[in-house]
Amino acid sequence: MTPAAGSAFNTSVAGADDLIRLHLSESPHGASKAALQAAERELARVNVYPDPERQELVRALATHWGVGPEHIAVANGSDELVLATALTLGDRNLPGLVTDGTFPGYRACLELLGRGCAAVPAAGTAVDVAGFAARLPGHGIGYLCNPHNPSGAALTRQELGALVDVCGRSGVPLVFDEAYMEFAGPDVPQTRDLTAAGDAPVVALRTFSKAYGLAALRVGYAVGRPDLIAGLRGTLRALPFSVNRLAQAAAIAALGDPDFVDGVRRSTAERRRWFVGELDRRGRAHLPSVTNFVAVAARDCARAQDRLAADFGILVRNAGLFGFPGYLRTSLGEKEDLERFLDALDEIEQNP
Ligand code: PMP
């Protein structure tokens, strides 16, 4: 099929299977067999509504995190939790705070709800963590993506600690979107490592769409203080059946197969090392990443994104459209697809 050019998300071809899909940080590793079998078993019961309270999955996640079930809320993708947090948490008379150059869902939800949205400018190609921490008091809610999309960088322990600290002191709820955390190794700090995060109004968002490879089934969850989680669950009750039977069963089975996710993490790290080596060999700059995507420097990214799609059938994201001008973001897909992407990009730049 011929893709339409020009959109940030390549939305007109988002469902296309005959193109090289490197634009949505999808996993090339598929999902755990146990998860797929669990989903398939549920096909026999498609006439039966799913559990609106998602209890078995909540319990499985609570065990996985070593917390009580009152710390967990499950939703239809972490997208739904971005909306639920914006609907539920913090002072709605004050604008939300985001960083310039981040996942666009936070601003979209805040603005949709009329909450207003202020943004802390990026410091070059990094999130201005000190600037964000300084500005959080006086806002209704904050959103930070860690590891960061589209740069791929993770916060340091000191940065994370400082943010949790200001959140605790100011009482302004802070949502850490950890959609890509499963790809980061054990050295990368996460909110669950910080005991202080238990007291502060911090919510971590996770998803089964990335490392677990279940993007089509749509399961995300929030981990946080019970009072905040109770609020989120209350909001989510407006859509009691939004997490379907196949999704709940697959997510439970996926949690029961930790070797699969460990394998995905290892092979993603290996693929990342190879890809970064390939970029260095070709003299192409890139941003350091701990995730399953890399921001690759390119000239005239809007045009490059369009030509990659139209002439080569390769979908990547123009990171400039969400705050990182001069970079195309590619998922760490199959090696041959990544090679095709780099060859095509070289060709486009040599024949502008
Ligand atoms: N947060 C970030 C940073 C993302 O990149 C994405 C999807 N690309 C999401 C949240 C939403 O993920 P999902 O709804 O599939 O869980």
pLDDT of 13 reads 55
Q: If we measure between CA atoms, which residue out of 319, 244, 261 comes closest to residue 80?
A: 244
pLDDT, tens only, 262-280: 999 999 999 999 999 999 9
For residues 324 and 125, is the Cβ–Cβ distance under 8 A?
yes
| Structural domain boundaries in the chain | 11-25+259-350, 33-257
Residue 131 CB-half CA count within 13 A: 13
Mean pLDDT of the chain: 93
Residue 5 has pLDDT above 60, yes or no: no
pLDDT digits (tens, 9 = 90+) for 142-180: 999 999 999 999 999 999 999 999 999 999 999 999 999
What 8-state DSSP symbol labels residue 119? E
Class of CATH domain 33-257: alpha beta
Angle, CA of 188, 262 and 213, to the nearest 5°: 100
Ligand 1 pocket residue status of 191, Cβ below 6 Å: no
What is the pLDDT, as a whole number, of residue 194? Answer: 82
| Share above pLDDT 90 across residues of the chain, in percent, rounded to a whole number | 87
**What is the CA(156)–ligand 1 centre distance, in A?**
22
Work out the pLDDT band at 309, boundaries 50, 70, 90: very high
Contacts of 115 by beta carbon, 8 Å cutoff, 6+ apart: 86, 92, 94, 95, 96, 140, 141
- pLDDT at site 2: 37
Say if residue 1's pLDDT is above 50. no
Mean local confidence (pLDDT), 189-200: 84
Whether the pLDDT of residue 115 is over 60: the answer is: yes
Ligand 1 centre from 257 Cα, in Å? 22
Largest Cα–Cα distance of the chain, in whole Å?
58
- CA of residue 282 to ligand 1 center, whole Å: 31
Measured distance CA(26)–CA(20) in Å, rounded: 11
Does the C-beta of 79 come closer than 6 Å to ligand 1? yes
- Tens digit of each residue's pLDDT (9 = 90 or more) over 219-248: 999 999 999 999 999 999 999 999 999 999
Lowest mean pLDDT among 192-196, 258-262, 348-352: 192-196
> Could you tell me the distance, in angstroms and rounded to a whole number, from the CA of residue 281 to the centre of ligand 1?
31
Q: Take atom 1 of ligand 1 and give the residue whose Cα is closest.
A: 179
209 lines ligand 1 (CB under 6 A): yes
Q: Mean pLDDT, to the nearest integer, of 33-48?
A: 98
Does the pLDDT of residue 6 top 50, yes or no?
no
Cβ atoms 233, 225 nearer than 8 A: no
Give the atom of ligand 1 at the shortest distance from the alpha carbon of 25.
8
Amino acid at 241: F
pLDDT of residue 311 exceeding 60: yes
Range 11-25+259-350 has CATH code 3.90.1150.10: yes
Q: Closest Cα partner for 308 from 19, 27, 25, 18?
A: 19
Whether the CB of 145 sits within 6 Å of ligand 1: yes
State if residue 109 touches ligand 1 by the CB under 6 angstroms criterion.
no
* Reported pTM: 0.94
Residue 151 CB less than 6 A away from ligand 1: no
Q: Each residue of 69-113: pLDDT tens digit? A: 999 999 999 999 999 999 999 999 999 999 998 999 999 999 999
Substitution site in 99, 210, 242, 292 for ligand 1 pocket (most atoms within 8 Å of beta carbon)? 210
Residue 10 has pLDDT above 80, yes or no: no
Answer with the residue of higher pLDDT: 10 or 116.
Answer: 116
Helix%, strand%, coil% for the chain, nearest 5: 45, 15, 40
Q: Is 99 in the pocket of ligand 1 (CB under 6 A)?
A: no
Give the position, in ligand 1's atom list, of the atom nearest the Cα of 209. 15
Task: Kindly indicate the confidence band of residue 126, based on its pLDDT and cuts at 50, 70 and 90.
Answer: confident
Please tell me if the CB atom of residue 224 comes closer than 6 angstroms to any atom of ligand 1: no
Look at residues 100, 99, 98 and name the one whose alpha carbon lies nearest to residue 115: 98
Query: In this predicted structure, what is the pLDDT of residue 17?
Result: 66
Write down the pLDDT at residue 348. 96
Q: Which of 5-14, 70-79, 222-231, 303-312 has the lowest mean pLDDT?
A: 5-14
For residue 26, which of 221, 214, 285 has the smallest C-alpha distance?
214
Pocket flag, ligand 1, residue 207 (CB < 6 Å): yes
How far is Cα 85 from Cα 202, in angstroms, rounded to an integer? 11
Distance from the CA of 133 to the center of ligand 1, in angstroms?
A: 23
